[in-house]
């Protein structure tokens, strides 16, 4: 009853005219920013931080505005992924695998509607979890040590082959390329330069956002330039402009499952939405891909990562509010903003500033409804993007990509890096090597290395510490099961492939 009373008080704070207007505005502007390739929630929130100071809002209103922008950016990231095969940010990569094939098959409105509903389910599950289990789950997450996080990343890389369904050797090669690219910069322990070739611009390594925009957006333009003379102006089929209610239902079970996986990933500091979307997709593919439809436009392959993405985004608020530890890059920006406003998140925040905490939680419920109500009617507008001639659309993509990357760092060097990654991505796609494992290697590799170094520094170089923790042992057990399952599926697939020609020969 105390929780319900606190939540009711939170709604009284959230529905004040100022806070309600800020929530709606944050959802709207966040969706627009999230749809732009290369911006994403982290940069979207960071770009709009000066706005919060310019409006001279109280800390509660600032937190409500930034959180709704955060949710809006997470929603908006799916638009470019589905429509253009260009992720708005790292966590939207998984939406390209089945979302874009649906759009190419004339089901763009259905894909956007399924994504919106799945995002609503994921965000709602996360908000309910934030309401009920924040102290409990945050207490569990604090027991994860460096060796446990390293085991978690080992599990992620063991399951990476389940993302694309491509040639396992090529998938493994792509993951190693991503890990190698992620080592560029200064050694985190010794400060020694690694693969910088004496360039000061590479001391911080490659910005993942810059790499993602280059790998997907620029390579997409290059693929178009290569094949433009073969297309003869054939347009992608439009399909329905406005989805029907029954079009939104496929994948709801996958969305529910992905929500819980993403939420559990989000509450682990540092795992972030990318890990939540990735784990949700892999788990759903293992569970449901009996017909081999994942990667070809399966609604479940879109619903699961979208729900996992949004659930992880909400779950990342838990360690920030209850422990003062950012659960993702975006919550790190929000944490810095709160500290600058003389608000110290932590275990006492719920007692000392209940108006802020419960007002935020109530506003997240409102934001979920606003985003769903806002995005479903706009599906028709988004689907019309496909009606734009490619010779107009592709220069627009280049313009947005260059402006988005330049707005992050105001560095011309990053523009050159983005172009270089575009050429690299084009070559990988010509060799039929998936870009997703490359990006995942870049995103997870640095944290994996840092946790390994912390673990070994604690044990003075004794590798036995990696398997001492019960949590790590459980994660390694799951890793072993996943690898054995992958081998079993691969063996079964080869047997079926051999049996089909034999059956056809017998029939003849």
Q: Encode pLDDT of 273-303 as tens digits.
A: 567 787 888 888 878 777 777 878 888 888 8
Q: What is the pLDDT of residue 235?
A: 46
- Min mean pLDDT across 90-99, 371-380, 382-391, 479-488 is at 382-391
- Over residues 36-53, mean pLDDT: 66
% the chain with pLDDT above 90: 1
Q: What is the pLDDT of residue 420?
A: 92
Q: How far apart are CA 311 and CA 266, in angstroms?
A: 7
For residue range 122-140, list pLDDT tens digits in order: 888 888 888 887 666 655 6
Q: What is the pLDDT of residue 500?
A: 53
What's the pLDDT band for 327 if we cut at 50, 70, 90?
A: low
Residues 6+ apart with CB under 8 A from 209: 38, 39, 40, 42, 43, 89, 90, 405, 408
Q: Calculate ∠ Cα 318-323-327, nearest 5°.
A: 50
pTM, entire model:
0.67
Check: CB of residue 160 under 8 Å from CB of residue 154.
Answer: no
Residue 239 scores a pLDDT above 60: no
Q: Calculate ∠ Cα 376-381-384, nearest 5°.
A: 130
Mean pLDDT of the chain: 76
φ/ψ bin of 236: left (φ > 0), alpha (ψ from -120 to 50), beta (otherwise): beta
Q: What is the pLDDT of residue 423?
A: 92
Q: How far apart are CA 216 and CA 211, in angstroms?
A: 9
- Min mean pLDDT across 131-135, 326-330, 375-379 is at 326-330
Residue with tokens 């003869």: 232
- Over residues 226-249, mean pLDDT: 56
Q: Is 391 exposed, middle or buried (0-12, 13-18, 19+ CB in 10 A)?
A: exposed
% the chain with pLDDT above 70: 74
Helix, strand, or coil here: 203?
A: coil
Better-scored residue on pLDDT, 258 or 144: 258
What's the pLDDT band for 249 if we cut at 50, 70, 90?
A: low
Selection from 39-53, 134-148, 258-272 with the highest mean pLDDT: 258-272
Q: What is the DSSP letter of 186?
A: E
Q: What is the pLDDT of residue 424?
A: 93
């Amino acid at each position: 009853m105390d929780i319900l009373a606190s939540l009711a008080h939170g709604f009284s704070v959230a529905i004040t005219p100022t806070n309600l207007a800020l929530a709606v505005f944050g959802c709207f502007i966040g969706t627009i920013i999230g749809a732009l390739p290369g911006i994403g929630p982290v940069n979207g929130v960071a770009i709009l931080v000066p706005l919060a100071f310019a409006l001279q809002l109280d800390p509660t209103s600032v937190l409500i505005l930034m959180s709704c922008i955060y949710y809006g950016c997470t929603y908006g990231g799916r638009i470019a992924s589905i429509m253009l095969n260009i992720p708005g940010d790292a966590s939207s990569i998984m939406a390209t695998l089945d979302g874009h094939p649906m759009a190419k098959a004339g089901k763009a409105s259905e894909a956007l509607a399924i994504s919106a509903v799945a995002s609503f389910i994921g965000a709602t599950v996360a908000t309910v979890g934030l309401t009920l289990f924040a102290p409990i789950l945050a207490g569990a997450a604090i027991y994860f040590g460096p060796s446990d996080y390293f085991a978690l990343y080992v599990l992620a890389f063991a399951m990476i082959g389940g993302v694309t369904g491509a040639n396992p050797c090529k998938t493994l090669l792509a993951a190693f390329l991503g890990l190698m690219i992620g080592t560029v910069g200064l050694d985190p322990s010794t400060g020694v330069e690694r693969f910088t070739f004496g360039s000061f611009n590479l001391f911080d390594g490659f910005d993942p956002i810059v790499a993602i925009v280059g790998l997907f957006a620029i390579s997409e333009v290059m693929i178009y330039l290569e094949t433009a003379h073969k297309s003869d102006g054939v347009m992608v089929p439009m399909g329905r402009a406005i989805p029907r209610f029954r079009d939104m239902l496929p994948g709801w079970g996958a969305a529910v499952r992905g929500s819980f996986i993403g939420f559990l990933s989000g509450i682990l500091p540092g795992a972030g939405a990318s890990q939540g979307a990735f784990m949700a997709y892999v788990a759903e593919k293992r569970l449901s891909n009996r017909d081999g439809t994942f990667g070809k436009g399966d609604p479940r392959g879109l619903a699961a990562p979208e729900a996992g993405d949004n659930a992880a985004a909400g779950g990342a608020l838990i360690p920030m509010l209850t422990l003062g530890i950012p659960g993702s890059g975006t919550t790190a920006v929000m944490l810095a903003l709160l500290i600058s406003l003389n608000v110290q998140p932590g275990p006492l925040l719920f007692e000392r500033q209940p108006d802020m905490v419960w007002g935020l939680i109530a506003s997240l419920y409102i934001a979920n409804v606003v985003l769903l109500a806002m995005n479903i009617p706009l599906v028709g507008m988004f689907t019309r993007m496909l009606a734009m001639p490619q010779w107009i659309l592709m220069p627009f993509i280049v313009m947005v990509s260059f402006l988005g990357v330049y707005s992050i760092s105001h560095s011309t060097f990053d523009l050159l890096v983005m172009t270089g990654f575009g050429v690299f991505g084009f070559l990988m796609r010509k060799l039929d090597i998936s870009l997703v494992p490359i990006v995942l290697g870049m995103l997870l590799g640095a944290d994996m290395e840092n946790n390994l170094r912390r673990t070994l520094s604690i044990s003075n170089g004794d590798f036995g510490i990696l398997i001492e923790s019960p949590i790590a042992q459980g994660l390694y057990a799951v890793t072993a099961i996943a690898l054995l399952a992958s081998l079993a599926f691969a063996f079964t697939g080869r047997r079926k492939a051999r049996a089909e020609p034999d059956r056809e020969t017998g029939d003849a």
